[in-house]
Amino acid sequence: MPKLKTDKEQLLDSYKAILAESAGFIAINPDRIDNVTITDFKKKLAEQNAKYVVVKNTLFKLALQDKNQPLKASEFDGQTAIIAYKEDPTVVAKLLKEVQTKNEDLLGYKFSVVDNAYFDEKSTAGLAEIPSKPELLAKLLGSLNAPLTGFMNAVTGNVRGFVRVLGELSSKGN
């Protein structure tokens, strides 16, 4: 049954709102996934402050144009679902990869838009391999901390050695 013009306008407005509220999105092909798996996936996404929506392609393309998304993002067809996230795309990509691994690639990547940059199917799949933001920050802090720790060990090592020699001398003197 065709949608009424008001229904289409509401749907277009909801797509625009999703794009405005999110930092980016991953477009996937959801045509072979079962309801139980997708329901579980939606719950996990909600925990990560992300949203799963099956979209009407023509209306979503209009929303993309209106929100000044990359032009290549408007070039897709077939059944499409988007996963819109507000924070870290790698967390969402890892959840998606987990579902794909358990269900033999039922959710196929189409493309993604991360910080207004377009990524093709292969690059989108690679997002799951990137460490998450907290992991990267921990590695950065560890790298920044390593020289200071080494310096402190070098400085205190001489003092420790001196104290040990004094302790040996005082124990021999008694």
Helices (H), 33-132: 35-47, 57-66, 89-102, 121-126
CA distances from 21 to 2, 77, 127 (A): 28, 24, 21
Mean pLDDT across the chain: 84
Domain ranges across the chain = 5-130, 131-174
pLDDT at 43 over 60: yes
Tokens 């939606």 appear where?
42
pLDDT at 143 over 80: yes
Which architecture characterizes domain 5-130 according to CATH? 2-Layer Sandwich (3.30)
pLDDT for residue 104: 66
State in Å, rounded, how far the first CA of the chain is from the last one. Answer: 101
**Kind and range of the H or E element at 97?**
helix 89-102
Please state, in angstroms and rounded to a whole number, the distance separating the CA atoms of residues 5 and 2.
9
The dihedral sign for the CA sequence 45, 33, 79, 77: positive
Reported pTM:
0.73
Please state, in angstroms and rounded to a whole number, the distance separating the CA atoms of residues 21 and 46.
14
